Amino acid sequence: MDTKPLTEGAVQVTVTRSATLKRAKTTSILPEVGVENSAEHYVQRLGASFLKGTTRQLGRDLFSYEVEKELMPQLVGVEPTHPEWNKLVDAYWINYSLLVPLEGKPLNITTDYTNPDLANTADFTNPMWFRTASLAAIGNPHNISDLVCYVYALRHSHVANSRSDISKSNKIQFYLWSKEEEIKASSARRKLLDQATIVRLEMVSDRSKVRAVLAMGNYSYTGAIDEQDNLLAKYCETNPQEFILYATDSKLLMKAFVMQCINRGILIRPENTSLVFYKDIKLGDNLDQTVAFLEDAANVQIKQALQQLNKG
């Protein structure tokens, strides 16, 4: 199949991109033609799909019609002016079948740009971006078949857009893996961990804040400082985003106080709700409202009563 670039115009920027369509499960359901019947030669098939609730092929909804007219001729063998154009494109997607071997299917999604600014705004991880993007925004693909397959996989209900999304649906059979995206995600997590570590080191001298953060994270301890610090480090490493959220909250101490009262049964939070009650008095619909209620000078007596009860 001819998958040469669409045009030979002057290229100012080439953005090298790649992805691999991988199998989410190790089960094998279809042997490759012409090879021995062994597990390593088995493949899975990514087939045709319809738009939810319609009889329209998903493949006809990947790009704008203008982009489709630029990309599909090399895949169906005729130009958009051909009287059978729509019929042939429909047939392409009705019969679409991509075999994914055990090691995955590499996809070359590198594109060339004549406008460098467009290279910086392309959003190749967003499947819906392609529906309205111009070909200039997408770039001139080095491999049209691979690019079309990649966008199709992004939209397909049986494909997770990352390894971390595999568990989101029991329909998932494949996932898209990109070294570039994995490096980017790893770098982002490292920066988040660095930020969380800085916050942790800055707060360890304030034991009331340490205890409050541990209370918000639902960590229990006997009281030893070393134990608290070890749990704080564990919280920082296992859930740095939540840790930072609580540790930098200006209402941290009051929120932790409310959570302690809830955990000790002084305040009541009915099951499967965020409501908070003191006896038959509703303090708030959620934690933030409860804190606001207790910080209101008009409710100082209830606050003092809770503080007294929490000492016991």
pLDDT tens track for 127-182: 999 999 999 999 999 999 999 999 999 999 899 988 888 888 888 889 998 887 77
Q: Which pLDDT score is estimated for 44?
A: 73
Return the percentage of the chain with pLDDT > 70, whole number. 89
Expressed in angstroms, the distance from the first to the final Cα of the chain is 78
Place of tokens 């030893």: 224
Q: Which pLDDT score is estimated for 126?
A: 92
Bin 9: left if φ > 0, else alpha if -120 < ψ < 50, else beta: beta
Pairwise CA distance, residues 167 & 160, whole Å: 9
Burial 259-298 (b: 16+ CB within 10 A, else e): bbbbeeebbebeeeeeebbbeeeebbeebeebbebbeeee
Q: Which of 172, 245, 228 is nearest to 25 (CA)?
A: 172
Q: Is residue 81 scored above 60 in pLDDT?
A: yes
93 phi and psi angles, rounded to 5 deg:
-80, -30
Q: What is the mean pLDDT of residues 66-91?
A: 95
Token pair listed for 179:
């070294």
Pairwise CA distance, residues 125 & 235, whole Å: 30
Is the CB of residue 169 less than 8 Å from the CB of residue 212? Answer: no
Q: Which pLDDT score is estimated for 1?
A: 36
Q: Which pLDDT score is estimated for 37?
A: 46
Token pair listed for 15:
């953005």
Band (190; pLDDT cuts 50, 70, 90): very high
Q: Is residue 7 scored above 70 in pLDDT?
A: no
User: What is the tens place of the pLDDT at every residue in 101-120?
Assistant: 888 999 999 999 998 889 98
Half-sphere exposure of 261 (CA within 13 A, CB side): 28
Instruction: Output DSSP code: residue 55.
Output: S
Q: What is the mean pLDDT of residues 82-93?
A: 95
61 phi and psi angles, rounded to 5 deg:
-120, 10
Q: Is residue 3 scored above 50 in pLDDT?
A: no
Length of the chain: 312
For the sheet containing 174-177, what is the strand order? 105-108, 18-23, 174-177, 159-160
Domains of the chain: 13-177 (no CATH), 186-249 (no CATH), 254-312 (3.30.250.10)
User: What is the tens place of the pLDDT at every residue in 30-71?
Assistant: 444 444 444 444 557 787 787 776 667 899 999 999 999 999
In whole numbers, what is the pLDDT of the chain averaged over residues?
A: 88
Question: In the chain, how long is the greatest CA-to-CA distance?
Answer: 85
User: What is the tens place of the pLDDT at every residue in 275-292?
Assistant: 999 999 999 999 999 999
Q: State which amino acid sits at residue 295.
A: E
Is the CB of residue 113 less than 8 Å from the CB of residue 141? Answer: no
Residues β-bridged to residue 196: none
Residues β-bridged to residue 177: 20
Q: What is the mean pLDDT of residues 234-256?
A: 96
